[in-house]
Copies of this chain bind each other. A is one copy, B any other.
Amino acid sequence: MANNKKTTIHDIAQKLNVTASTVSRALNENPRISENTRKAVLKAAKELNYEPNQIASALRSGRTQLIGMLVPNINRAFFSSIIRGVEEVANSLDYRVIVSQSSEIFENEESAVKAFLNVRVDGIIASIGKNTENFDHYKQVLDRGLPLVLFDRTTADLQTSQVVIDDYQGGYLATSHLIAQGCTRIAHFTMERKIDIYKERYRGYTNALLDHNIKPDENLLFSGNLQLEDGREHTLALLQKNQEFDAIFSASDYAAMGAMQVLKEKGLKIPDDVALVGFLNEPFTSFTDPPLTSVNQFPIEMGHTAANLFFDALHAGKKKVVPKKTVLQPELIVRASSLKEKH
């Protein structure tokens, strides 16, 4: 069946007694072509089962229709959903997405960007690694005039478009909700990093307290890696220090999960004794017992936005547009872990 030799525009040209350039024009919606030859070319192309060679096209035109996408971890629901969002937009415009993951390792991040540049991607969409403090590899991308869009984990050191969610608002929403449920002694689990997102969530938490005339208490603040184990430790510490508390707002669902485990082990009722709110809206949050209230970051929409910003920059081309920063509003998904009976 399948021809061993792939047909090229020359084959089509030969068949129609025209030149390859005419065929190329016909295939690329070039206006400098008559409607008749255009139709003839399209017909012949179909007959000969022509498939364009994008590599040759890329070499000549300098455009590969490839987007390099860099994420810390592909098998985290948040990131894979963002990839999905980017893909949806990209594929609809006939672009392909190349994915690499840094695994939060700086060297991987550097080499992935370099690899992207070597395959001559048309641009890069990336989320910065936790421990990255040097951005030269990203600057190289910008120096080459390629679009670079950052999402979620961004930095002010790079003058480029970015999309984040309003982490402050997320922290504020979560905390206000707990206060509305009657909680006044609200602990917070956070992480100390250069990354802004945790600071913002913490700021939202603090301001929500202040706005409701509750004085933030340092004894209720815990910093760690926000993994399940950290949540367990923080909660045990809370209990051991005999701190009075009636709620926990964790900047990550995993640490919230650790808290839930410990609270249940100690016989405390959720949410009546301690109300619980996480952050990320990981898939598992609806499967815990009780289901965990959390902050949804709309990852698919974030992917859509990142892709749109990318194509904006791409189409702007040389004439450097002002980088745009899009801030998405998060949503508090209220579940049983924080919803007290009407009081």
| Residues of A participating in the B interface, judged by any CB pair closer than 8 Å | 1-2, 51-56, 58-59, 64-66, 73-75, 77, 80-81, 83-84, 87, 91, 94, 96-101, 112, 114-115, 117-120, 140, 143-144, 257, 264, 283-284, 287-289
Q: How far is the CB of A101 from chain B (nearest CB, A)?
A: 7
A117 to B283, CA, bound (A): 34
A96 to B68, CA, bound (A): 10
Q: Which residues of the partner chain B approach A289 to less than 8 Å between Cβ atoms?
A: 264, 288-289
A-B contact pairs, 10 of them (CB 8 A): A53-B59, A73-B84, A74-B80, A74-B83, A74-B87, A75-B81, A87-B100, A91-B115, A96-B98, A287-B288
Q: How far is the CB of A196 from chain B (nearest CB, A)?
A: 25
State whether A91 touches B100 (Cβ < 8 A): yes
Residue from B59, B99, B114 within 8 A of A99 (CB atoms): B99
Q: How far is the CB of A142 from chain B (nearest CB, A)?
A: 9
Given known contacts A1-B143, A119-B54, A143-B2, is B74 in contact with A77 (CB within 8 Å)? no
A144 to B7, CA, bound (A): 13
State whether A75 touches B66 (Cβ < 8 A): no
Q: Which residues of the partner chain B approach A53 to less than 8 Å between Cβ atoms?
A: 59, 118, 120
Name which residue of chain B comes closest to A81, CB basis: B75
State whether B87 touches A115 (Cβ < 8 A): no
Name which residue of chain B comes closest to A289, CB basis: B289
Given contacts A283-B284, A288-B288, 4 further A-B contacts (CB under 8 A): A53-B120, A75-B80, A91-B115, A287-B288
